[in-house]
Each structure stands twice: as C-alpha cells, then as structure tokens.
Amino acid sequence: MKYNKFIDHTLLKQDATPEQIISLCNEAKQFDFMSVCVNPHYVPLAAEVLEGSDVKVCTVVGFPLGMNMTKTKIQETQLCIAQGATEIDMVINVGMLKAGHDDYVENEIRELKSVCGNLILKVILETCLLTDEEIVRACIASKNAGADFVKTSTGFSSGGATIHAVKLMRETVGETMGVKASGGVRTHEDLINMIEAGASRIGTSSGAKII
C-alpha cells in the first residue's frame, strides 16, 4: 500500500518562517502527499508554491483553542478559502461540549460546513481533554452537522493521537466519514498503527521521514 496520500504534511509552529513553508510545500510535491497543513497566514504562499500540483492546501480555523466566536471562525474560513485553502481543520469549543451544550458545537460545525460547501471540513476534537463519552458526543455532533472528518488533536494541548481515541472515533462515525490522527505520529510504525486503528488521514510534521 502507498501511504503518501494518507499524509497531511504539517507545519503549524508559531515560529515557522516563509522559507520553511516553501520547503514544506516542495517536500509535499516531491512525495505527493495529500496536503500541506499550515496556519492561515501562510495559505496564500502555500497555494502559490503548490499551484499546478495535486497537493491540497489545508489550514486551521479557531486554532489552537477553539474558543473564538462562531462568527470569527466563519469569517476566518471564508478568508482562507478565498486565499486558496481547499481543506479546513476547525477546532471545536471544548468547554461548551464539556458543559453539555452539544447543540452549540453541532450548529457551529454546520455553519462552517455551509461555508466550505464541497471543500473538506475536518473537526478537531482535542481528545486528550475529553472523556470517551465526550469523544462519542463530539463525533455524533460532527456527523450530524455534515462534517467530512473528525480529527484527534491540535498537537498544542496535553496529548496527541492515541490508538484508543482513533478506534473510538471510527466506531462512532462509521465508514461514511474520515478520521484524522494528528499529534505524535512520527514513525512509519506510528502511521501503520493509526491506519489499522481506523485513521484515513494522518497529520504529521514527519511525513518525509516516515515515507
């Protein structure tokens, strides 16, 4: 099996430079990864470097805390798409989920999916902060709202992807949605383990090394 198209080649560090983003994009073209995942500021640059390739431009919205107002997330999504993003990874409002306001979480996802239209929307749950029951509820909200993927982590909290969380997410959403494992996937073995657990996309900054 070819694993390159499982990978979102990722650089979301606060100190990432334009030169590093260009290098990321060139690696993504070299290895024919599914996408590069960059912060919104670098969407225009990534779109320019990747023009003419089949590597998608993925960016993050409400990142990394998810505590922005819904209107802010909507506007950020609109601007990112206008500047060349073709996939959006949004962070849910974890506090509202934990407080039992699943309707808020679901409605926010639905509004962003409406903006994305046919473009892929991935929903970052930040599973390290959630109980199993909360992971299930977040997955159900994402599915009900029409999202395309659920994603484990931002990589900026207290933990990344785990086999347990990926299995639970896959069991909950079934085969109609994607599951993205992100955070701490650094080796070929990690990648295989996540795919076997049910992941259909891998977010990693170690894509070149893994392949």
- Residues annotated as catalytic are 89, 151, 180
**Cβ distance 127 to 162 under 8 Å?**
yes
**Measuring CA to CA, how many Å separate 192 from each of 1, 166, 186?**
11, 13, 11
H-helix segments, the chain? 18-31, 43-50, 70-82, 94-98, 102-116, 132-144, 163-173, 188-197, 207-210
Pairwise CA distance, residues 190 & 82, whole Å: 35
Q: Return the closest-CA partner of residue 57 out of 77, 76, 34.
A: 34
**Cβ distance 105 to 112 under 8 Å?**
no
Q: Return the closest-CA partner of residue 126 out of 152, 164, 108.
A: 152
Pairwise CA distance, residues 121 & 178, whole Å: 10
Burial of 176 (0-12, 13-18, 19+ CB in 10 A): exposed
Q: Return the closest-CA partner of residue 57 out of 93, 101, 8, 104.
A: 8
